[in-house]
Amino acid sequence: MSSTQSPPAPAAMHLVDYTNPEAVKQVPTRNGFGEGLIEAGRRDPAVIAICADLAESTRMEPFKNAFPDRYIEIGVAEQMLVAMAAGLAAAGKIPFIASYAMFNPGRSWEQVRTTMALNQTNVKIAGAHAGVSVGPDGATHQAIEDIAIMRVIPKMTVVVPCDAVQTKKATLAVAAAWGPTYLRFGRAESAVVTTDETPFELGVAQTLRAGTDVAIVACGILVYDALLAAEELAKDGIAARVVNNHTIRPMDEAAIVAAARDCGAVVTVEEHQVHGGMGSRVAEILAARHPVPIEFIGVHDRFGQSGSPHELIAEYAMDASSIAAAARRAVQRKAALRGSLL
Amino acid sequence: MDSLTPKRLVELQTHANDVRQGIVRSLLAAGSGHSAGSLDMADVFTALYFHVLRHDPANPEWPERDRLLLSCGHIAPVRYSAMAYAGYFPVEELLTLRRFGTRLQGHPERVSLPGLETTSGPLGEGLAQGTGMALAAKMDGKDGRVYVVTSDAEHQCGLHFEAMMTAPKFKLDNLTCIVDRNFIQIDGSTEDVMPLEPLADKYRAFNWDVHECDGNDISAFIETEARARRIAGKPHVIIAHTVPGKGVSFMEGDYLWHGKPPKADEAAAALRELTAGREALTAHV
């Protein structure tokens, strides 16, 4: 992939009319995982599911019912979940292991590194209930560090799809592609902006909206908020490009550099700590290849707390208006920078 | 097949002596590494590689093979030495232990050396992975067996207990856990650092098929393993009682040899002792 390659035109993305609330369905991304897993099981008999006492909430239950001989329940044992899966994978299986992201991979990081990644086994971690949007359970159950701890492990694929439809496609894609993988999804009802026709390819970021004033690079359920922010910015005459950066590793560097080059300012958006996550990777790429002002949307050095998903997204300044405000700051910094260079 | 002829036993004891010499030579060349546990498990590894395991050194990925996992990766020297003498790679390669560019990493890495079933070093992870491999064999109707060698001290790890609880659920009678019960760990006696006894009762309480034997008696280990594999419906554990540093008199029973290699003069003394022992064995035949 060369850095001069243009991203696909947004028109080819077949999005729903996200500006019309009536047209936007609300479905948890975990549902897409459940649908994708059962389809992956139909396509490949090597696909198995291992669960740590959360079959219903991780959406593994339909797989359990469809393929009881390929479903393994091990109870509340997240280190076991990873290490046992590594053994099954070493014997030729393609295990999907599911629990809450806080525990899988949160509790099992060293097992992930040694038995799964260093060992080069084909295990797929499914981290459910990620982000603050899991809501009332509070800080202990809100994984907002998981992208950081997974993306530092060599050769680990990290995928954060934007909605339920894309989560299904991502699940199928990671089942078909060899390699240790972390797939992250959430519990809250969230906007479905892509359709069955929307293309999806691991490692290829998607330009969902054209623009050259500022690039909003987002992942996960906040991609919808990024699109709404772009609408808000358009009313001020700011044309924001929106990039769905669903694969955090390996990241689509060409799309990131093209966005920075074309727009001159970037906002990163993720339901995660700003330290070490998707935005940090974007900053690493741009610092090396095309430095521009960057604003970071995410949780800033705090833990989560109880609340509704909506309340929490607002409290941690990850909603559309916060994204739009960050974009305006980025545009101002770009202008100031250009002024200082004149 | 369960009991050995006297000739076969001497043959295996001679192999064990070779394996111990390989351990001493490789540790001396490396200048670091774990002596006591490596030496005390030489008899078990010899029994496994030269008698028990169904394997093919010329075809390490043979799908019908039995799998041997070393959970306590720090005693890698005994595994490497047994593999070399069994024909997986040249014995001279043992002298590359822990050197830059070697296939014999300080702790074993699956991707580095054909014939290793997994990467190990961080303790407590082997039985969990072996449980997965044994379950996969059951799912696929394969009759290959899975053996996991563990240290005693790694029974202090929570993940090992997760595996102890999981394997009986799936009735994995194709899985055998072998415990090197030498009672030492880096900081001293296991019973001082964090008591493990009654260890056999812990396995019984988790519904394992439990056996104990002298882990430095090759024929006792082989007979115990043969007895265990006839028990259906449960995973097996063999608690192998060993003497740390076994075979080198000045190391035997001393926990301070857990994590250090012999110096040149110590290695020379150890090799003299082992050579004499080997000559005494072959004189018997």
pLDDT tens for each residue of A24-71: 999 999 999 999 999 999 999 999 999 999 999 999 999 999 999 999
Q: How far is CA A107 from the centre of its chain?
A: 20
Considering only CB atoms, which chain A residues are within 8 Å of B116? none
Does A93 contact B at CB distance below 8 Å?
Answer: yes
User: Which are the catalytic amino acids of A?
Assistant: 78
Distance from CA of A88 to the nearest CA of B (A): 4
pLDDT of residue A5: 60
Does A90 contact B at CB distance below 8 Å?
Answer: yes
Q: Give CA–CA dist A253/A1, Å, rounded.
A: 9
Distance from CA of B238 to the nearest CA of A (A): 21
Q: How far is CA B92 from the centre of its chain?
A: 21
Asked if pLDDT for residue A139 goes beyond 60, the answer is yes
- Strand, coil or helix: A97: strand
Angle, alpha carbons B102-B106-B107 (nearest 5°): 115
pLDDT of residue A2: 43
pLDDT of residue B285: 66
pLDDT band at B220 (very low <50, low <70, confident <90, very high): very high
pLDDT tens for each residue of A69-126: 999 999 999 999 999 999 999 999 999 999 999 999 999 999 999 999 999 999 999 9
**pTM of the predicted model, to two decimals?**
0.95
> Taking a C-beta distance cutoff of 8 angstroms, is the pair B53, B72 a contact?
no
pLDDT band at A6 (very low <50, low <70, confident <90, very high): low
Considering only CB atoms, which chain B residues are within 8 Å of A93? 136, 139
Instruction: Give percent of chain A above pLDDT 90.
Output: 95
Quick one: which of A147, A324, A303 has its CA closest to A233? A324
- In the predicted model, what is the mean pLDDT of chain A? 96
Across residues A185-192, what is the average pLDDT?
A: 97
pLDDT tens for each residue of B155-185: 999 999 999 999 999 999 999 999 999 999 9
Hey, are the CB atoms on B128 and A79 less than 8 Å from each other? yes
pLDDT of residue A3: 46
Q: What is the DSSP letter of B103?
A: S
> Taking a C-beta distance cutoff of 8 angstroms, is the pair B44, B70 a contact?
no
Asked if pLDDT for residue A13 goes beyond 60, the answer is yes
E-strand ranges in chain B read 67-70, 146-151, 175-181, 184-185, 188-189, 209-214, 236-241
Quick one: which of A278, A293, A101 has its CA closest to A205? A278
Distance from CA of B147 to the nearest CA of A (A): 12
pLDDT tens for each residue of A295-339: 999 999 999 999 999 999 999 999 999 999 999 999 999 999 988
Q: Give CA–CA dist A29/A187, Å, rounded.
A: 7
pLDDT tens for each residue of B122-131: 999 999 999 9
Question: Which tokens in the block code for residue B274?
Answer: 């082992």
pLDDT of residue A342: 67
A158 forms beta bridges with: A182, A249
pLDDT band at A1 (very low <50, low <70, confident <90, very high): very low
Asked if pLDDT for residue B1 goes beyond 70, the answer is no
> Taking a C-beta distance cutoff of 8 angstroms, is the pair A143, A6 a contact?
no
Q: Give CA–CA dist A276/A269, Å, rounded.
A: 13
Does A47 contact B at CB distance below 8 Å?
Answer: no
Encode B206-222 in three state secondary structure. CCCEEEEEECCCHHHHH
- Strand, coil or helix: A315: helix
Q: What is the DSSP string of A114-178?
A: IIIIITT---EEEEESBSGGG-TT-GGG-BSSHHHHHHTSTT-EEE--SSHHHHHHHHHHHHHS-
- Nearest chain A residue to B112, by CA: A119
- Residue recorded with tokens 């992870």: B125
pLDDT of residue B59: 98
B240 forms beta bridges with: B180, B213
Across residues B79-85, what is the average pLDDT?
A: 98
